[in-house]
A and B are shown apart, each in its own frame.
Chain A
Amino acid sequence: MKEYLNPEVIGRIAGIGFKTRQPVEGTIAGQHRSPLHGLSPEFADYRSYTPGDDLKNLDWKAYARSDRFYIKRFEEESNLRAVFIIDSSASMQYGAPEFSKYDCAATIAVSLSAVLLKQRDAVGLAILNDRVQEDLKTGGTPSHLAKFIEVLQRVELIGETDIGPAVSQVADQIHRRGVVVVLSDLLTPLDPFYESLGKLQHAGHEVIVAHILHRDEMEMPFKDSVIFKDIEGEEEIFAEPWAFHKAYQAAMEEFTQETRQRCQYCGIDYLQILTDENLGAVLSSYLHNRQFGGAKTHRGRMSSLGSPSRKENQSEKNRENSPAPETKSLQ
């Protein structure tokens, strides 16, 4: 049994906490902004008085200045419902048995869940490859973390990576606005995946994509001749990596850059994590940026590569003559 609860990682991020950037619909009062108006001390806005309103909310000073009746409204703060979607396809086992990509994703999910549960937020879990393999309903009790870890540990990494439809399926099941964290190597058909991300955005969720990769996959550091066997299939390719590893690195770099730019353009947090990196440092840096950084610029909704929004994206990129919109770095 792998132990995904890493105190060191949790210790580094527990003090920072997790704060949403957009309102969420929780079930109980919490630390996060809610789209509803409530009883918190935070003034939200005014609205005109209508008969039947409680007079205690009438702003008399405003009446004195303008001779009109205004009702003061206050924001409501709610708890967060975060759902972790973890890719469990066979490709995620690369790096095993030491520390596979799945291990990395699970560790991240557990760590963030521990922080969220400590904030009295609720966390849920969906493990999927080309279909939903495991689905853990959201829960906010401390004991929920144990269930969370148990589900992660019993997952078998099989099947091909096609998480787009599965993510869409999960999105249909989340009715209240919250945070959705997708942890995957993204070696999947990207169009349906982007479509599913757009669907999540459309439902009002804040989406975070954690792109988990092994360093070998980025750099291809092999010295000898290699037969590459498809980890999710039967195909085998003989190659001498030293002859083309730079070209391969460029191709992978282009892949990650494009994904990053698309996510950033749509206001999705993109977090690229290599399995050999210090997860505590990476996550703390990310959470710190969320805590104290400004709101993300949201210029459009994620869609497939062939959709109009993609063309709009491309034309804007050309117009600005820059590879990506100006956004704040998360790393």
Chain B
Amino acid sequence: MHFLAPLLLAGTVLATAPIIIHLLNRRRFTRVNWAPMEYLKLTLKTNRRRLRLEQWLLLALRTLAVLALFFAIARPISSSTNLAGFLSVEGRASRVIVIDDSLSMSYQKGDQSAFERAKNAARQILNQLGPQDSVSVVLASNPSQTLVRMAHLEENERNKLVARINELASCQMASHWISTLEDIDRQLQEATFPVKEVIIVTDLWAAGWTVEVQDLFDRWSQEQVTVRFIDIGAEPAGNRVLRSLELDSRIALVDQEVKMTAVIENAGDEPLKSGQALLTVDGDVTPVSLPEIPADKTVNVPVSVRFDQPGQHVVSLSIPTDKLQDDNIQRKVINVRQMVDVVLVDGEPGLNPFDSETDFLALALSAGNSSWQVTQEESSTWKNQLLTAPDLIILANVDQLSKKRITELEELVALGTGLMIFAGDQCDLELYNERLFKGGNGLLPARLRQISDLQSQGLVIEPIADSPIELLKGLTPELLSRVRPRRFADVIIDSSTEPNIDQQKVRVLARWNDASQSPAVLEKRFGEGRVLFWTITADKSWSDWPAEASFVLAMRVAAQQIAADIQRGDNLIAGEPIHYELETITAPQSGELIWLDRELNPLDITFGSIDESKTMLSSAPVRFAGVVEANWQDSQLGDQSQKFAINANVDDSLQKKMNEQALQQFLGRMPLKLIRYQGKEMDLSTEGTELWRYLAVLLLGCLISESMLATWIGRRR
């Protein structure tokens, strides 16, 4: 309940007047010497209850009449479903209406989504506001692009704005209220009126609310900014989320089975039985049987596809629909390759077969494997030529690398190119440590101490999750025990002596079976790529392992796992901008981004150069999920296109709705002003219900009743 003239409520203290008068009357009396005391007492005795009841009733009526009078002139307005009362302020106000359009707003209740209700609420709010107030209307996902900015809306302008609101669609981004509110804070700086209000129309799902907003709300509270929440959300009642669809192997090759894993979460109370998902590959739909997913459980569902053509392919998987449909589908753009490009850099070339450092490697990777294109380069030649972008680079007993080449290597690996380094007698340990290890910041996983002799009883594979050589654990111990190098490159991996080593990124994948458990294979994650350092040579100079069958398996497995998974930014999450590097130096003039699976307006894209060597295709953050295709004209290559898959940000699917207490925690000192709508129908009153008429009727009733009762008491009795 609100009051338009709350100061007049002070008059309610006069409600005590009848009581005070009653008490004063009891003090103002006459004294009479009375003879018929017996009959007086008899009368009082027989009428005591009636007298007391009548007195209390009369007193209550008089008190109620005074209360009703002052409540009525204070003009109370009911606030349960009364928008007018909820929005009422004294004086002119600058308002910012924020419409939550995050993923969760697609949650259906009945035949209406939360976003439809939010639009309805926004329309009602706009209808309540007069042209004397200035108003901005923004979407929470895109607060900088206002629908209208601090405008005084006349009726026709308001109608146009309402029409624009009617055409809005909810996006698939996750809420991120701190960034939204910071943007609104900047808009409030432009507000002209001292009364400032932010009206947030939201479903109050917990996702996106972080403690950072509390400082902002505290500051707003000090600056007398009012924040009103209009809760149009429904309590979440179960939801199924397709959290991700990821490739199991880093490389998708033509005519090879590409395995993917779909992560499905059943956040509902009912298990999902005999469900069926739909796998769409370039428009062809294939049903996929889902296992039973118990309630409140997450399962991984394997999915495999095969492509017969190289290039970009769009794969999407959709699980059975529910009340929140936008998180039931995942899209993936897969770059299918004809073959894997591997460059072997030989640090010690030889004249005869298997004299070279990389001969065993080339045999292991290429024999019977037509999809792998292996190129052997002498290190002296490779160091001086222009660096291409192969999928995997293997440095075998390379003495040293120039700083420029190492920088180029770092850039490639950071983008996803795989790198394997084999030790050898040629290696200049000091330069390796200086340029490749860089005190823990370079490509080399660990500092090289020295080349040492080794008395090992074999190779031990560490039980590490997601290890590139995890498959070697399937080999028999006898096979691994036959790997007995005579020498190895001893490394320093102790964090006490090398504090800069990031333990999260550097792992020992295998160790030699010697007394000190010396590292045999080390991995370092560098950007999007991985670096494997083998502490032995790739030829037979330090061990006989390259001649073993297990060496072939180990090299193939390792190469397969770390070969390039160059992320070029063609799979995005809603809310991220497109930032794609083109394979051309000259920036195109123009292009457009069109939706392939949605009827939405094309998006603008821009082209720009970085360091005069890279040309980037960029766009504003894409707020909707779907598949878009960028088309542009390249001066050298002609018409070009690139598909992008944008997936819903399922972080917003968090099935938790905040209550007043939870919301108040984020508001800090800001008082909570919330209007909550429940039920099937969303009916916001536009007229508002002022209660003074009811109170006037009550007042009149009290006065009439009081008069009648007083007359009845005084005359009839």
Chain A residues with CB under 8 Å of chain B are 91, 94, 185, 187, 214, 217, 222, 224-233, 235, 237-240, 242-248, 251-252, 255
Whole-angstrom distance between the alpha carbons of A247 and B46 in the complex? 9
A227 close to B32 (CB less than 8 A): yes
Q: Which one of B29, B36, B54, B716 contacts A252 once the chains associate, using CB atoms below 8 Å?
A: B36
CB neighbours (8 Å) of A217 from chain B are 35-36
CB neighbours (8 Å) of B54 from chain A are 243
B44 close to A237 (CB less than 8 A): yes
Show 27 A/B contacts (Cβ-Cβ < 8 Å), sorted by A.
A91-B35, A94-B33, A187-B35, A214-B35, A217-B35, A225-B26, A225-B28, A227-B32, A228-B32, A229-B33, A230-B33, A230-B34, A230-B37, A237-B41, A239-B44, A242-B714, A243-B55, A244-B43, A244-B47, A246-B715, A247-B47, A247-B717, A248-B40, A251-B39, A251-B43, A252-B39, A255-B39
B35 close to A224 (CB less than 8 A): no
Query: Could you tell me the distance in whole angstroms from the C-beta of A270 to the nearest C-beta in chain B?
Result: 18
Smallest CB gap from B42: residue in A? A251
Smallest CB gap from A246: residue in B? B717
Query: At the interface, is chain B mostly helix, strand, loop or mixed?
Result: helix
A247 close to B43 (CB less than 8 A): yes
Smallest CB gap from B38: residue in A? A187
Whole-angstrom distance between the alpha carbons of A225 and B55 in the complex? 13
How many B residues have CB within 8 A of the partner chain?
Answer: 29
User: With contacts A224-B28, A232-B35, A247-B47 known, what are 9 further pairs, Cβ within 8 A?
Assistant: A94-B33, A187-B35, A225-B29, A225-B30, A227-B31, A228-B37, A231-B34, A231-B35, A238-B26
The 10 closest A-B pairs by CB, nearest first: A91-B35, A225-B29, A228-B34, A231-B33, A248-B43, A246-B717, A230-B37, A227-B31, A251-B39, A231-B35
CB neighbours (8 Å) of B51 from chain A are 243-244
B25 within 8 A of A: yes
CB neighbours (8 Å) of A229 from chain B are 31-34
Name B354-376 residues within 8 Å CB distance of A. none
A226 close to B36 (CB less than 8 A): no
Whole-angstrom distance between the alpha carbons of A53 and B414 in the complex? 171
B17 within 8 A of A: no
Query: Could you tell me the distance in whole angstroms from the C-beta of A180 to the nearest C-beta in chain B?
Result: 24
Smallest CB gap from A185: residue in B? B35
Specify which of A185, A226, A247 lies most central, judged by the most chain B CB atoms within 10 Å of its CB: A247
CB neighbours (8 Å) of B1 from chain A are none
Whole-angstrom distance between the alpha carbons of A226 and B51 in the complex? 15
CB neighbours (8 Å) of A242 from chain B are 713-714
Specify which of A233, A240, A243, A255 lies most central, judged by the most chain B CB atoms within 10 Å of its CB: A243
Whole-angstrom distance between the alpha carbons of A28 and B174 in the complex? 131
Whole-angstrom distance between the alpha carbons of A252 and B25 in the complex? 27
B30 close to A222 (CB less than 8 A): yes
Given known pairs A224-B30, A227-B32, A228-B40, the reply for A243 and B25 (CB within 8 Å) is no
Whole-angstrom distance between the alpha carbons of A91 and B638 in the complex? 130
Whole-angstrom distance between the alpha carbons of A230 and B31 in the complex? 11
CB neighbours (8 Å) of B34 from chain A are 94, 228-231
Chain B residues with CB under 8 Å of chain A are 25-26, 28-44, 46-47, 51, 54-55, 713-717
A244 close to B39 (CB less than 8 A): no
B33 close to A226 (CB less than 8 A): no
CB neighbours (8 Å) of B55 from chain A are 243
Query: Could you tell me the distance in whole angstroms from the C-beta of A132 to the nearest C-beta in chain B?
Result: 21
CB neighbours (8 Å) of B32 from chain A are 222, 226-229
Query: Could you tell me the distance in whole angstroms from the C-beta of B31 to the nearest C-beta in chain A?
Result: 5
Smallest CB gap from B41: residue in A? A237
B35 close to A94 (CB less than 8 A): yes
Specify which of B26, B30, B34, B54 lies most central, judged by the most chain A CB atoms within 10 Å of its CB: B34
Given known pairs A243-B717, A244-B51, the reply for A226 and B29 (CB within 8 Å) is yes
Q: Which one of B30, B35, B43, B714 contacts A226 once the chains associate, using CB atoms below 8 Å?
A: B30
A239 close to B35 (CB less than 8 A): no
CB neighbours (8 Å) of B47 from chain A are 244, 247
Whole-angstrom distance between the alpha carbons of A242 and B39 in the complex? 16
Whole-angstrom distance between the alpha carbons of A237 and B32 in the complex? 10
Smallest CB gap from A91: residue in B? B35
CB neighbours (8 Å) of A251 from chain B are 39, 42-43
B717 close to A244 (CB less than 8 A): yes
Query: Could you tell me the distance in whole angstroms from the C-beta of B85 to the nearest C-beta in chain A?
Result: 43
CB neighbours (8 Å) of A239 from chain B are 40, 44
CB neighbours (8 Å) of A185 from chain B are 35
CB neighbours (8 Å) of A238 from chain B are 26, 29
Whole-angstrom distance between the alpha carbons of A185 and B54 in the complex? 33
CB neighbours (8 Å) of A246 from chain B are 715-717
Query: Could you tell me the distance in whole angstroms from the C-beta of B617 to the nearest C-beta in chain A?
Result: 93
CB neighbours (8 Å) of A228 from chain B are 32, 34, 37, 40
Smallest CB gap from B714: residue in A? A242
Query: Could you tell me the distance in whole angstroms from the C-beta of B18 to the nearest C-beta in chain A?
Result: 15
CB neighbours (8 Å) of A255 from chain B are 39
Query: Could you tell me the distance in whole angstroms from the C-beta of B23 to the nearest C-beta in chain A?
Result: 11
CB neighbours (8 Å) of B42 from chain A are 251
CB neighbours (8 Å) of B25 from chain A are 224-225, 240
B35 close to A227 (CB less than 8 A): no
Smallest CB gap from A235: residue in B? B37
CB neighbours (8 Å) of B26 from chain A are 225, 238
Smallest CB gap from A255: residue in B? B39
Specify which of A227, A228, A238, A245 lies most central, judged by the most chain B CB atoms within 10 Å of its CB: A228
Smallest CB gap from A220: residue in B? B40
Query: Could you tell me the distance in whole angstroms from the C-beta of B44 to the nearest C-beta in chain A?
Result: 6
CB neighbours (8 Å) of A231 from chain B are 33-35, 37
Smallest CB gap from B58: residue in A? A243
CB neighbours (8 Å) of B43 from chain A are 244, 247-248, 251
Query: Could you tell me the distance in whole angstroms from the C-beta of A130 to the nearest C-beta in chain B?
Result: 15
CB neighbours (8 Å) of A94 from chain B are 33-35
Whole-angstrom distance between the alpha carbons of A185 and B38 in the complex? 13
Smallest CB gap from B716: residue in A? A246
Whole-angstrom distance between the alpha carbons of A221 and B612 in the complex? 112
Given known pairs A217-B36, A225-B25, the reply for A244 and B31 (CB within 8 Å) is no
Smallest CB gap from B717: residue in A? A246
Whole-angstrom distance between the alpha carbons of A217 and B37 in the complex? 10
Q: Which one of B29, B38, B46 contacts A227 once the chains associate, using CB atoms below 8 Å?
A: B29
Query: Could you tell me the distance in whole angstroms from the C-beta of A184 to the nearest C-beta in chain B?
Result: 11
Whole-angstrom distance between the alpha carbons of A99 and B199 in the complex? 83
CB neighbours (8 Å) of A214 from chain B are 35
